[in-house]
Amino acid sequence: MRTVLEGTGRKIAIDAEGPFVTIGERINPSGRRRLAESLAQGDMSLVRQEALAQVEAGAQVIDVNVSAVDVDEERILPLAVQTVAEVVDVPISIDTANYEALAAALAICPGKPLVNSVTGEEASLEAVLPLVKEHGCAVIGLCMDEEGIPKEAQHRLEIANKIVDTAQTYGIPPEDVIIDPLAMTVGADHTSGVVTLQTIRLIAMKLGVSITLGGSNISFGLPERSLINRSFLAMAMAA
């Protein structure tokens, strides 16, 4: 199944049979004090720098997250999205749990962006999916619901299936839903990597939709993170 995203000058296709697509996630103030302070002041200079540097490094989609203390997301997220769209031509991923900020950012985002994200929770589905349909974009579905993140691959598949099915009731085709099976650190649970790989295989076999993954989560809190990340990414791509 082929998911197509569009920026101001470039289309990107995400397809299990196609090449790997990299989403740049450095426009995120979590743990980055200087960026958080700049965003709180409405200063977009670091946003511009990060967007340009990531595309130069090979990122094909740029994720934009401005969530931080003292940042007015409803005002700053649209401004950051507009700034990124002005300096790079790749598709944008709008990353927020603030539904009002999401609506404001989608209203000004050019092309066909990616919404990051919706979960299997009823409140999330009811708030996010109408916006995805209204703006004709694609959406990432996280394999979690009101009970949290399941420890079993089959349960994660059930949540993924619920997200895809519910999206269709809103008129959103399966090709516009990208499922994130969720990678959790093996530092807390040594089985978490195996469960993620099992979930990837189940989604590919049962649903056939596009898949995304925050692979570096697997090594959180551990030494030699880059080595762990590279090894896990190779396994995830082959799953």
List of E strands, the chain: 2-6, 11-15, 23-27, 61-64, 92-95, 114-118, 138-142, 177-180, 210-211
Amino acid sitting at position 218: I
CA distances from 27 to 36, 42, 43, 95, 109 (A): 10, 14, 13, 10, 16
Average pLDDT for residues 24-51, to the nearest whole number?
Answer: 98
Give the mean model confidence (pLDDT) for residues 161-174. 99
> Which SS3 state, helix, strand or coil, does residue 12 take?
strand
What are the boundaries of each domain within the chain? Answer: 1-112, 142-239
Query: Is the pLDDT score of 215 beyond 90?
Result: yes
16 has pLDDT over 90: no
Assess whether the region 1-112 and the region 142-239 belong to the same CATH fold.
yes
**Amino acid letter at 13?**
A
End-to-end CA distance of the chain, in Å?
16
Q: How far is the C-alpha of 120 from the C-alpha of 145, rounded, in Å? A: 5
Superfamily of domain 1-112: Dihydropteroate synthase-like (3.20.20.20)
pLDDT tens digit sequence for 181-195? 999 999 999 999 999
Please state which CATH number belongs to domain 142-239: 3.20.20.20
Give the mean pLDDT of the chain.
98
Strands 61-64 and 11-15, bridge-based pairing: unpaired
Average pLDDT over residues 147-176: 99
Could you read off the pLDDT of 131-140 as tens digits, one per residue? 999 999 999 9
CB 95 within 8 A of CB 28: yes
Strand partners, 63: 93
Q: What number of residues does the chain have?
A: 239
What pLDDT band is residue 62 in, cutting at 50, 70 and 90? Answer: very high
Report pLDDT digits (tens) over 76-121: 999 999 999 999 999 999 999 999 999 999 999 999 999 999 999 9
Q: What integer pLDDT is reported at residue 17 of this predicted model?
A: 86
